[in-house]
Structure 1
Amino acid sequence: MLRIVEFRDELAPLFHDINEEWISGMFEMEDVDRHVLQNPRATIIDKDGDILFVEVEGRGIVGAGALKWSGPGQLELTKMGVRSDLRGLKAGEFLLNALIERAVSMAPERLYLLTNKKCEAAIHLYEKCGFEHDADLLAEAQHQYARCDVAMTYRG
């Protein structure tokens, strides 16, 4: 059984560790990653963003994802990951759907995400859930992360 858990300060270390695991497993941690993961309240929550976790019954918190305002009307789905030892339970899809639902309630002009071609399974999931590749967004946002070579906008 899966359930969504709202951000609480005592869960900040899990947000950090889950994301550090997947980023470090495929890429190099960048300064922007460190800053956000070490300061989720200041960089996301206190700026009207949100962080959600997914919990698997009997396994605890296994995944996390954030919604971060990046400018007026611009909401980024970011820092979404699932513990590598617990992938395959559909926790990522469950979390992504909850994040999309929360984002829609926040009424952004644009909901988007930035990723890398190496993240093939994640990209397939994003496409399945209503995100489309966006070359214009990629040109705008590519400088945010050295690893960014895919940008997607939510179309519903």
Structure 2
Amino acid sequence: MFSLEATDVAMLEDPVAKVIAPGGKIWFARHPQHGVVGTCALLKQEAGVYELTKMGVTESARGLKVGEQLLQYVLARAGQMNMQCLFLLTNRRCEAAIHLYEKNGFRHCEDIMQRFGSAYERCNVAMRYVGI
């Protein structure tokens, strides 16, 4: 759907250094018939502030509610972490994902767009989780 940007490449080439070492987490979703079909990460941006990022599900698993289950799992784990703010950055072309985020407690947020939206050229939607 998008070209990889430098930020994406750096994170995907060394997730331990870019996500885990600074205090983030990475999860994978496994389906009984399809194997590993999804992933999601929480990237620590600053003390108490995390970005939900690299959420995706393979095409073969779309429609199986894997994304929703993975998101709910990650949100439950986020609630156990010491964070004051959880946000995500996306593009309005990702309509199904945006609907999923809204359904699960994310709200559009101009403050998040101002603070973090420039991290990706493709970013034109910023959302903050209201469950924290």
- Measured against the shorter chain, the TM-score band is over 0.9
Distance 1:118 1:43 in 2: 26
Query: Are 2:2 and 1:27 aligned?
Result: yes
**2:71 aligns to what SS in structure 1?**
helix
Q: Structure 2 stretches of 5 or more lacking a match?
A: none
What corresponds to 1:96 in structure 2?
71
- Equivalence map 1:3-152=2 (5 Å): 26-152=1-127
Segment drifting more, 102-111 vs 125-134: 102-111
- Which sections of structure 1, spanning at least 5 residues, go unmatched? 1-25
Distance in 2 (alpha carbons) for counterparts of 1:70 and 1:30: 18
Structure 1 length normalisation: TM-score?
0.82
Distance in 2 of aligned mates of 1:31 and 1:124: 27
- Aligned-residue CA RMSD in angstroms? 0.8
Q: Which runs of 4+ in 1 moved over 3 A?
A: none
Shift of 1:107: 2.2
- Report the TM-score when normalising by structure 2: 0.96
Q: Name the count of aligned residue pairs.
A: 131
